[in-house]
Structure 1
Amino acid sequence: MSSKPQHKSSAFEKFATKVSKAAGSTPAFIGALALVVGWAASGPIFDYSETWQLVINTGTTIITFLMVFLIQKAQNKDSLAIQLKLNELVASNELSSNSLVDIEI
């Protein structure tokens, strides 16, 4: 019986995983779409002012900047997990060359 290796995720890893999963969900898309539609609909109220434009520009820029790092962290974690699984498959196959294990490092 093999035991699973215990990996303790950091708080940031857990946060990054949850945020990237939530950001890719249907409710997140609907929320973002509603926000943009609401902003566009408020244009006439604010007379399409520079401040009105700055609100969406600043908000989306900040969110995009932060999401790049969160999604990249989650992607790195997922990629590492896939590579470890592939290494195990290569190592367990009698016909494969073990020289391929850890080749991506």
Structure 2
Amino acid sequence: MTTLTAVNDSNYAREVIDSREPVLVKFWAPWCGPCKMLDPVVESIAEERDSALKVVTINVDEAPDLAARNGVRGLPTVALFKGGEKAEALTGVQPKESFDALIARHA
């Protein structure tokens, strides 16, 4: 199992905005059942794309400003950042193929 980097206000710029590689960000909360359902999918993507894509998580309860700044309206939300900008996001539980397609659209 891959341990994903937890991002918060103090390391957001370094881990997401300033990242050289694209970053897949999972916005979640501990009380969110669908967020837990998505964990294996996100971890699988992290393992498969280890060198080409950074995968991180943001707990919206601990970083509400980051969620608001990124337009997160529902959980889970998974967003792809490229060159420090949010390229696209998907909200809700999705099959792995949806995330693979999202990543491919911005490769």
TM-score range, shorter chain: under 0.3
Higher RCO (C-alpha under 8 Å, 6+ residues apart): 2
- Taking structure 2 as the reference length, the TM-score comes to 0.23
> As a proportion of its length, which structure holds more strand?
2
- Taking structure 1 as the reference length, the TM-score comes to 0.23
> As a proportion of its length, which structure holds more helix?
1
